[in-house]
Each structure stands twice: as structure tokens, then as C-alpha cells.
Amino acid sequence: MNGIEHKFYINRLWVEQHEGCPNAVARVEWACVMKRNGAKVIGMGVSDLEAPSPSGFIDIGSLEAQQVLDWCISKEGGQPWLEAYIGGHEEQMQKAERDLSLERWSIPLINPLKFDLNNV
């Protein structure tokens, strides 16, 4: 994906109560950190998940973060969605890479303007 490394993180979970599925994950707020050549871009998103079936339900206390993130990626459209999502940040990544090459200067104000509110 254009040489961009990425990693998803969970920011927040919302749960719903369903018969046979207490505390089922219903919504996930996530962040995706993308890196290339020392530059970093962060994308955010929210995925609403389908209600689980009692036969496939995994208690929230037994869930691993990666399982939940895999559900989100699958819900959004799987690998094609992931490639489009990462690719959609290409312009931001190029700007972040360029920003790394810029020299930062701290320039103090020499003659700051003074406003006299009585003469406005």
C-alpha cells in the first residue's frame, strides 16, 4: 500500500445488551496510524458492528483488541476497503513527508503592532 505501514488502535467501545449476548460490542471508535519515511499521519473512524448470534458470541472480557479491529475492517469492506482507506491518505502522507524536510525557524516579532482601543 504505497510503502505505508499502518496500525489500528481502539479508542472507545460501545456495547449493547442482547439476549444471550450481554455486553456485545456494537460500535468501535478507532484510529489508524500510518507511517512512511519517518512521516506519520493519523486517520480516525467509527464502525458499527452487527449484533452477534448467541452461538458465535465472545464475551467482552475474553476479546482481544485485534479481534475487534478485524471485525471493523471486515464490516467496512475487508481488504479492498483497507487499501482504499490507506491510499486515501496518500496526499496527507506526502505533505507530512515534505514537512520533515522543511527547516523550522523561530522568528521573534521585532516590532509588534500595538493597538490603542481609544483610537480605533
Please list the rounded mean pLDDT of every run of 10 residues in the chain (120 residues).
92 92 93 96 96 86 94 96 96 95 73 57
Asked, for residue 116, whether it belongs to a domain, the answer is: no
Give yes or no for a contact between 23 and 42, defined as CB atoms under 8 angstroms apart: no
What total number of domains does the chain contain? 1
Report the C-alpha gap between 92 and 80 in whole angstroms: 20
Asked, for residue 31, whether it belongs to a domain, the answer is: yes
Asked, for residue 109, whether it belongs to a domain, the answer is: no
Asked, for residue 29, whether it belongs to a domain, the answer is: yes
Closest CA relative to residue 6, chosen from 69, 100, 98? 69
Residue 110 pLDDT: 61
Asked, for residue 97, whether it belongs to a domain, the answer is: no
pTM of the predicted structure, to 2 decimals: 0.79
Asked, for residue 72, whether it belongs to a domain, the answer is: yes
Asked, for residue 110, whether it belongs to a domain, the answer is: no
End-to-end CA distance of the chain: 56
Residue 32 pLDDT: 97
Give yes or no for a contact between 7 and 41, defined as CB atoms under 8 angstroms apart: no
Residue 52 pLDDT: 86
Beta-strand runs (E) in the chain: 5-18, 21-36, 39-48
Residue 55 pLDDT: 85
Instruction: Give residue 78's domain range.
Output: 5-91
Asked, for residue 111, whether it belongs to a domain, the answer is: no
Residue 61 pLDDT: 87
